[in-house]
Chain A
Amino acid sequence: MAKIEFLGPIGKPPVEVDIKNLDELKEIFSKDDDIKEWLKICAVAVNDTITKTLDMKINPNDKISLLPPVCGG
């Protein structure tokens, strides 16, 4: 199972999902009203590298992180 982390202000505990790519994660999230609004503004990292493609293959031990808008300093 891949682990999904919701970083910063999303305030949601991690979950584990059985997916083969990010498209499948998008499908799972489409049923989650708590997370829908965040998805519009979040970047996605797979194993701590930000990705821009939905067809990226996801392996069982991968870590997927959702990163909301940032403001350091």
Chain B
Amino acid sequence: MLELHNGSLHVEDITARWYNDIKAKNFGAFIPFIGIVRDEKGIDGLSFDIYEPILNSWFDSWQEKAKKEGAMLLMAHSKGDVKNHTSSYISAVVSPQRKVGLRLINDFVEDFKASAPIWKYDLIDGKRVYAKERSMPLNGAGLLAI
């Protein structure tokens, strides 16, 4: 399940809802990862643009991989502005066993960073500044380079 929210994520509500949804489904492990915006380099927060059609297909392909291991992925991400010390990203794996779940959450978040079509901006003095240095070109980038 993939959900997008405007602004900061309500972490307690989302994780409690996910836990209540899965607790009776006989998964042995629920492994959430919660990203929290740090106060650094004078930023007031972060802001995000998302291209949903490709995000959805990327997430669906991961859900298929997880399913083959008897696991399931959950993810929530913010759109727009997210202030410091609040959350913009939660992902979680529910799996029959701990080891499968820990491996999947690591691989999933790594590929999320490299492949999810989400653009990050620093919020500085009310302006959005593209976080170009922290961003990664997608696989296949430069196809139209001159």
Give me the interface of A with B, judged by CB distance under 8 Å. 7-9, 22, 25-26, 29-30, 36, 39-45, 48-52, 54, 65-73
Contact = CB atoms under 8 A, between A and B. Distances in A.
Interface residues of B, number: 38
B10 to A, nearest CB: 17
A69 B144 contact: no
Interface of B: 35, 48-51, 53-54, 57, 77, 88-89, 109, 112-121, 130-132, 134-146
B121 to A, nearest CB: 7
Contacts of A48: 53-54, 57
A47 to B, nearest CB: 9
Contacts of B49: 7-9
A25 B20 CA distance: 50
A34 to B, nearest CB: 13
Most interface-central of B48, B119, B120 (chain A CB within 10 A): B119
Given A8-B49, A22-B144, A43-B143, A69 B136 contact: yes
